[in-house]
A and B are shown apart, each in its own frame.
Chain A
Amino acid sequence: MKRIAVTVNGTRRESEVEPRQLLVIHLREDLGLTGTKIGCDTTSCGACTVLIDGKSVKSCNVLAVQADGREVTTIEGLAADGTMHPLQEAFRNNHGLQCGYCTPGMIMAALSLIDAGTPLEDEEDIRLALEGNLCRCTGYQNIVKSIKDAAGQMRSSASA
């Protein structure tokens, strides 16, 4: 077992983990943060996407020990004081989710793209940038629209 300390959604969490423990299992089973989902185990679907130090990673292919000393943000860390994050609002307003299973990963991936300054004004840009996250329900059109709306809003309020 290895002792690690990960700052998850702003709170330092110390745990003992097996060296082979995946970050997604650590988040879900050790820390009880089940908002992050597992869809494929092979980094294909993106349901397990979280942020490490602000950048998106697929937590099914990161070991928990690799997150030692770093900051992890999960879907549970977005809404503040009962107010949904602009991305969450945009997904709701644009019907960007159906079964909701890919949604946490989609939102975390989108957040990383927005924060990294990826061009998202054009729908084609969003579609290409989102290639690593699969959705089987929506046909993506409303996800693309949700991200476009949220990116526009977040960037204009950031520059205001």
Chain B
Amino acid sequence: MARTEQAQRYVGGGVLRKEDPELLTGQGKYTDDIVVPGMVWAIVVRSPFAHARINSVDTSRAGGMPGVIAVYSGADLASEWAGPLPMAWPVTEDINNPPHWPVAKDKARFAGDAVAVVVAESRAQAKDAAASVEVDYEALDPVVGVEAALRDGAPLVHDEFGTNKCYTWPLADGEVDDVFAKAPVVVKERYVHPRLIPNAIEPRAIVVQPVPSQGEFTMWSATQVPHIAKVTLSITLGIPESKFRVIAPEVGGGFGSKLQVYAEEAICLAVARRLGRPVKWVEERSENYLATHHGRGMIQDMEVAATEEGKLLGVRAKMLVDMGGYLQLVTPGIPLLGAFLYAGPYSAECYSVEFTGVFTNRTPTDAYRGAGRPEATYAVERIMDALARRVGKDPAEVRRMNFLPPFSEPTPTPSGLSFDSGNYEATLDKALELVGYDELRKEQAARRESKDVKQLGVGLSTYIEMCGLAPSQVLASLRYVAGGWDSATIRCHPTGKVTVLSGATPHGQGHETSWSQIVADALGIPFDDIEILHGDTAVVPLGMDTYGSRSVSVGGVAIHHAAERVKEKARKIAAHELEVAEDDLEFADGKFQVKGAPDKAKSIPEVAFSAWTAHNLPEGLEPGLEETYVFDPPNFTYPSGAHICAVEIDTDTGKTEVVRYIAVDDCGTIINPMIVEGQIRGGVAQGIAEALFEEAVYDDNGTLLTSSMATYAIPSAAELPRFTLAGNVTPSSTNPLGVKGVGEAGTIAAPPAVVNAVIDALSHFGVTEIDMPATPERVWNAIQNAKGGSK
């Protein structure tokens, strides 16, 4: 019998976003837009020192200022904490895991560490008084870099451990040392990932409303993780989870920086509990630079073993990772998200990576768009170019000869994980064609020949990533303390409308639109009749939130399964009403139709009405048409792609211009191409920014020098090129939708594509190494050094 195909009406189509009208007219409510009657304002006083003993905090002068309600030191608030701030990823059994209190009591461990809190009737009054809190600091020698931190005699960030080492996490497979000892070619390079500052344009903000008589708290927060915040903060504050509601309203970008449970959230809850009044705190941008977590911060010693022809034999890498002053929610685990990707989409006989986490007196690090995978991909793709130079082959050729062959079922890889599906060579071929690779090489040769001031470089990045976080059992084996599932509930109202509750919590990704597309197709409900609710723990009790490009491949798949459950129940009701066997019905065009008699049919809205009246339900069936599914993915998904960047470098000034950027991405089945392309463009922009512009620069005292938008180089439209995008779809074998995820592809793929292009442009001068960001100064110096000239 022929399978009945349901018309695909929405999935894959470029439906305009449901979210937009509200956001475009200024009606969207972000946390800072929320006002609660009787609300007071909190301001956090922060340490200007990277490392200092706090001898005393004198709050008396500030406490007497107009409008001030209370001033608290760390000691004053100590009794509020039932536990320290959460750290959910103790990656090894012997990890040094220091307690992280929301307000420091004895010692400040980074410039920006909270040391006191001022609460006043107005924002301005609180701000005025904060300047009058007198803290007696005794400055200590700070430890600023990871290598310095590991030297004997280095100042200790946490005295109790006797070391600044946090942990060492190894992963090895195969006879690594033997393979490297015998390999005809070994290439070793050192790569440095500067710290980056995520810079969501919406700063963080928090409002807490208590109901003192009930011991209840509602917290609005600019967070990516309301569900995780609810569980963890209930532990930190000792508030019963049953009396605690967290709402993430509109959230203005996150990029990982709001995948966090922050001191200020705990502080606002504590203050609201003490005072019995609603409290609001809004981050200033200067605080965002200091007190919102940073990303990256890794030094990699990367090695590959290969044959004379450039065939990979093995990968061996050792990493030093900057934790900063404390371990935040998943700080130690971030590098592990890339730990399985240091062979990229290539085959190799053996594999070894080792990460050492190191405390420094700097802002804690944690997830930033890509989280561990950009670092891994950068090392792999940089060294593939180095290998190509070493064996005298074109970088495209070396990649091609090492790709895993095309596959559509789970396939084991050098790191031990099984990838879901991929066709890496086809993706590269498409990118090479689109960029006009052969012509670019000819043009490059011509410019080298003519000693053109503007030299041309071409950089490749054929990346693989790991999304769909995550199979809960795999997380358990990695010692992460939560699961990786997500939930969906589909509620079919008697009037034909549908409400969907999703545990994924968007902050710009357009979930409401994509989720509606999935449900519209699955149930035959008009797109506009579907409402998506998210980001409120009282409305959606089960959720694991949004990060790691997980939403569609976990939360979206949960919606697919919930819709299947709705259809299962609806089929029973429809069959009963139509007086036929369930098998006699087929679901087509949004209706259960009697096979051979399609005019005898019941739509989902019709069934929903019957389920609500409950006048004529099959024996034993409960009234109502609402189903929940919690999806725990059986595997990760592995999006991949080929990005090619062409740069022009002015060799007189060192200035790099991206003149062409081609991205061919395989993110599996696409729900909404417009949204997918938007994600890729935004990610590539951030990736180019990492490669060329952005870096958190500290001085030797541990003071952040790039501490405002005026000094930290976020690119504007004028600094970025147009990108050309294309796709190649290999549906994921991990889930029934075939989706993989796309939120971080750009930041993963772009940095090595750009830096490889920069080095390629200068390789004929003998330049083999330029660290990110490849600023004009660095590029110019690299040229002068290679030419043997003076700086």
**Given contact pairs A39-B202, A88-B24, A91-B20, A44 touches B709 in the complex (Cβ within 8 A):** yes
Contact A37 B718 (CB under 8 A): no
Q: Which residue of B lies closest to A140 (CB)?
A: B717
B504-546 vs A, Cβ < 8 Å mask (1 yes, 0 no): 0001111000000000000000000000000000000000000
Residue from the list B29, B123, B684, B717 in contact with A144, Cβ < 8 A:
B717
A15-36 vs B, Cβ < 8 Å mask (1 yes, 0 no): 0001010000100110001111
Secondary structure call for the B interface: loop
| Chain A residues, Cβ within 8 Å of B199 | 136
In angstroms, how far is the closest chain B Cβ from the Cβ of A128? 5
Residue from the list A20, A93, A99, A123 in contact with B251, Cβ < 8 A:
A99
**Given contact pairs A130-B717, A136-B200, A37 touches B25 in the complex (Cβ within 8 A):** no
| Chain A residues, Cβ within 8 Å of B28 | 100
Contact A98 B510 (CB under 8 A): yes
Contact B253 A99 (CB under 8 A): yes
Binds B, one of A62-70, A75-83, A113-121, A152-160: A75-83
Is the C-beta of B708 less than 8 angstroms from some C-beta in chain A? yes
Is the C-beta of B147 less than 8 angstroms from some C-beta in chain A? no
Contact B716 A34 (CB under 8 A): no
Contact A134 B709 (CB under 8 A): yes
Is the C-beta of B32 less than 8 angstroms from some C-beta in chain A? yes
**Given contact pairs A134-B716, A140-B685, A97 touches B253 in the complex (Cβ within 8 A):** no
Contact A103 B23 (CB under 8 A): yes
Is the C-beta of A53 less than 8 angstroms from some C-beta in chain B? no
Is the C-beta of B722 less than 8 angstroms from some C-beta in chain A? yes
Contact A98 B717 (CB under 8 A): no
| Chain A residues, Cβ within 8 Å of B686 | 136, 139
B708-732 vs A, Cβ < 8 Å mask (1 yes, 0 no): 1110001011101011000000000
| Chain B residues, Cβ within 8 Å of A143 | 717
Q: Which residue of A lies closest to B16 (CB)?
A: A92
Contact A97 B24 (CB under 8 A): yes
Contact B19 A44 (CB under 8 A): no
Q: Which residue of A lies closest to B721 (CB)?
A: A141
Contact B709 A99 (CB under 8 A): no
Q: How big is the B interface, by class?
A: 35 or more
**Given contact pairs A18-B124, A40-B285, A139-B684, A99 touches B252 in the complex (Cβ within 8 A):** yes
Contact A76 B23 (CB under 8 A): no
**Given contact pairs A41-B284, A97-B20, A138 touches B681 in the complex (Cβ within 8 A):** yes
Residue from the list A28, A88, A95 in contact with B25, Cβ < 8 A:
A88
Chain B residues 276 to 299 lying within 8 A of chain A, measured CB to CB, are 282, 284-286
In angstroms, how far is the closest chain A Cβ from the Cβ of B249? 11
Q: Which residue of A lies closest to B508 (CB)?
A: A99
Is the C-beta of A52 less than 8 angstroms from some C-beta in chain B? no
CA distance A4 to B710 in the complex (A): 32
Secondary structure call for the A interface: loop
Contact B24 A101 (CB under 8 A): no
| Chain B residues, Cβ within 8 Å of A104 | 26
Is the C-beta of B450 less than 8 angstroms from some C-beta in chain A? no
In angstroms, how far is the closest chain B Cβ from the Cβ of A58? 12
| Chain B residues, Cβ within 8 Å of A92 | 16-17, 20-21, 24
In angstroms, how far is the closest chain A Cβ from the Cβ of B274? 25
| Chain A residues, Cβ within 8 Å of B790 | none
Contact A107 B24 (CB under 8 A): yes
Is the C-beta of B201 less than 8 angstroms from some C-beta in chain A? yes
CA distance A37 to B16 in the complex (A): 24
Is the C-beta of A111 less than 8 angstroms from some C-beta in chain B? no
CA distance A135 to B689 in the complex (A): 13
In angstroms, how far is the closest chain B Cβ from the Cβ of A101? 3
Is the C-beta of A51 less than 8 angstroms from some C-beta in chain B? no
Chain A residues within CB distance 8 Å of chain B = 18, 20, 25, 28-29, 33-42, 44-45, 47, 74-76, 78-79, 84, 88, 91-93, 95, 97-104, 107, 123, 126-128, 130-144
Chain B residues within CB distance 8 Å of chain A = 16-17, 19-21, 23-30, 32-33, 35, 123-124, 199-203, 250-253, 255, 282, 284-286, 507-510, 674-675, 677-678, 681-686, 708-710, 714, 716-718, 720, 722-723, 746
> 18 other contacts beyond A39-B285, A136-B200, A141-B722, with CB at 8 A cut-off?
A28-B32, A29-B35, A45-B285, A79-B25, A84-B25, A92-B24, A95-B675, A97-B20, A97-B24, A98-B253, A98-B682, A99-B251, A102-B201, A134-B201, A134-B714, A136-B199, A136-B682, A140-B720
The 4 lowest CB-CB distance pairs between A and B, nearest first, are: A35-B26, A101-B252, A99-B508, A100-B23
